[in-house]
Amino acid sequence: MNKIVILGAGYGGITAALRLARLLKKKKDYEIHLIDKNPFHTFKTQLHEAAVRNVEVSVPINQIIRKTSIIFHQQEIKQILTKEHIVKLQDFDITYNYLVLALGSITNFYGIPGLQAHSLTLQSLDDAKIIYENISGLIDEAMTSINENNKKDLLRFVIGGGGLTGVEFAGELVDYLSRDNRLVQGLKEVIVIEAGNRLLPNLDEKMSEEATKRLINKGIKIITNTKITNRTADTITLSNGEIIKSYCLVWTGGIKISELIGASDLKIGQLGRVLVNEYLQALDHPEIFALGDNALAINPTTGKPVPAAAQFALQQGRLVGENIFAEIKGKEKKTYKPKVFGEIISLGRHLAVGWFAVPFIKKLKFIGFIGSLFKSAVEDKHILLLRKESRNWTSWKG
Ligand SMILES: Cc1cc2nc3c(=O)[nH]c(=O)nc-3n(C[C@H](O)[C@H](O)[C@H](O)COP(=O)(O)OP(=O)(O)OC[C@H]3O[C@@H](n4cnc5c(N)ncnc54)[C@H](O)[C@@H]3O)c2cc1C
């Protein structure tokens, strides 16, 4: 039996699997194997909400694929042997005719002393649960402490990195501490430390400035042009010499791609992302496709790498499904042209900043409550598309 093996059931991987399952419905000589270490698909763009408010941001993979021919294996991927066409999993090996790399990204600590050992990360549902427990524990401890200074130290939360993840988490956290936890008001401190000269470098300067103002109004302290140079269990040393006391540092300052991919013989570029051609095939390996955070896809219009973002992982997942089908059928493959629909960044529970691509105006910018409605609409659209692709309208999530 021919096998298409898809590594990772995140945004890109699950989309590729579902698209292939539909296209290959009548072709019974191909099996689709989807592999993930978790039994659930995570709505990663909502992880900050899970980390602060413990909300549900995942859905069981078996529920999504229930009405398809996809074979799911809950397995940790250990090694990719490209010459032998084998992937080594925790319990068995699997061979492939086509392989899809959709493993997402991991946190980059840049070798900063103490950072990996003493900071929390926000890349997975497990990470979100650990942050939630950590925050809850510190609040409980602060409430029972009789020393005012100790209370303040316990309630000082620091976020390293002022990009999308750091900002979304900071906004969510400050809202939670201010609104849902009136007992900690006046004592809590949320600090964002950013090495660059402004937050949200992907947005234009004006929007980033406006978003920063809103975050400051919410009570977040923002320190830019400053790096974290050392971390111990309770201190954070900054490049300006300042030392901040904090028991909770959430590090969102950088991503890289899993060493699994680096250890294979695939050609990699920036951040360890796989170099791909215009069809998203790995260079020198037409049987391997890479997508989402794993792929260093180039936008043919700008000549620049496509950013690591959910909207591109979803588009690439669909295209990879179609291109593998085209290969099997001996048909022409489609070239990858990213569609940029816009960007929305949440600044707390009822506030978001962003823009939509609109004909003629080009960028329709917004900030405020309306932005948070747009953000929920985009998230709902993902769930709707999953349901549509899987032909499964039963009531998972929402
Ligand atoms: C907090 C947060 C907020 C974000 N917000 C936004 C946003 O608002 N908009 C946006 O566009 N992007 C956002 N992003 C980025 C976006 O989530 C990623 O770009 C996107 O998830 C990439 O999709 P992917 O399919 O490449 O990988 P992922 O969705 O990360 O999926 C990777 C999958 O691979 C599995 N996996 C990894 N390693 C192994 C292994 N060794 N064995 C088995 N399974 C493995 C994982 O369990 C996971 O299911 C955010 C990211 C974070 C962390």
Going from the Cα of 209 to the center of ligand 1, the distance in angstroms, rounded, reads 27
Which architecture does CATH list for 115-251?
A: 3-Layer(bba) Sandwich (3.50)
Of 29, 26, 30, the residue nearest 17 (C-alpha):
30
DSSP SS3 for 298: strand
Q: Cα–chain-centroid distance for residue 228?
A: 22
Going from the Cα of 163 to the center of ligand 1, the distance in angstroms, rounded, reads 15
Distance CA 197, CA 178 (A): 27
Q: Does domain 2-107+255-341 have CATH number 3.50.50.100?
A: yes
Is ligand 1 within 6 A of the CB of residue 310?
Answer: yes
Going from the Cα of 104 to the center of ligand 1, the distance in angstroms, rounded, reads 5
**CA angle (193, 197, 201) in 5-degree steps:** 90
Phi, psi torsion values for 256, nearest 5 degrees: -150, 175
Q: Buried (b) or exposed (e) across 76-87, using 16+ Cβ within 10 A?
A: ebeebebeebbb
Query: What are the mean pLDDT values of the chain's consecutive 10-residue runs (398 residues total)?
Result: 97 97 92 98 96 95 94 98 98 98 97 98 98 96 92 97 97 91 83 97 94 97 98 98 98 95 94 97 97 97 93 96 97 95 92 86 84 83 83 66
The H or E element containing residue 20 is: helix 11-23
Task: Please report, for residues 240, 269, 291, 293, the alpha-carbon distance to residue 343 in angstroms, rounded to integers and kept in the order given.
Answer: 32, 25, 19, 17
| pLDDT at residue 398, as a whole number | 46
Q: Which atom of ligand 1 is nearest to the CA of 375?
A: 8
Q: Which atom of ligand 1 is nearest to the CA of 51?
A: 1
Residue nearest to atom 49 of ligand 1 (CA): 10
Going from the Cα of 151 to the center of ligand 1, the distance in angstroms, rounded, reads 35
At 88, list the tokens: 């080594």
Distance CA 46, CA 104 (A): 15
Q: Which atom of ligand 1 is nearest to the CA of 310?
A: 11
Residue in 46, 53, 94, 103 to alter for ligand 1 test, most ligand atoms within 8 A of Cβ: 103
Is ligand 1 within 6 A of the CB of residue 164?
Answer: yes
Is ligand 1 within 6 A of the CB of residue 94?
Answer: no
Is ligand 1 within 6 A of the CB of residue 47?
Answer: yes
DSSP SS3 for 25: coil
Going from the Cα of 328 to the center of ligand 1, the distance in angstroms, rounded, reads 28
Is ligand 1 within 6 A of the CB of residue 292?
Answer: yes
The DSSP result for 169-223, as a single string, is HHHHHHHIIIII-GGGTTT-EEEEE-SSSSS-TTS-HHHHHHHHHHHHHTTEEEE
Q: Which atom of ligand 1 is nearest to the CA of 292?
A: 26
Q: Residue 79's beta-bridge partner residues?
A: 88
| pLDDT at residue 380, as a whole number | 82
- Cβ neighbours of residue 33 under 8 Å, at least 6 residues apart? 3, 4, 5, 6, 70, 71, 72, 73, 94, 96
Is ligand 1 within 6 A of the CB of residue 168?
Answer: yes
0.85 surpassed by pTM? yes
Q: Please, are residues 292 and 308 in contact by the beta-carbon 8 Å criterion?
A: yes
Q: Considering the chain, tell me which residue range(s) the CATH 3.50.50.60 domain(s) occupy.
A: 115-251
Is ligand 1 within 6 A of the CB of residue 74?
Answer: no
Q: Considering the chain, tell me which residue range(s) the CATH 3.50.50.100 domain(s) occupy.
A: 2-107+255-341
Is ligand 1 within 6 A of the CB of residue 321?
Answer: no
**CA angle (102, 104, 110) in 5-degree steps:** 145
Is ligand 1 within 6 A of the CB of residue 171?
Answer: no
First-to-last CA distance in the chain?
38
Q: Which atom of ligand 1 is nearest to the CA of 294?
A: 26
DSSP SS3 for 75: coil
Is ligand 1 within 6 A of the CB of residue 234?
Answer: no
Residue nearest to atom 7 of ligand 1 (CA): 45
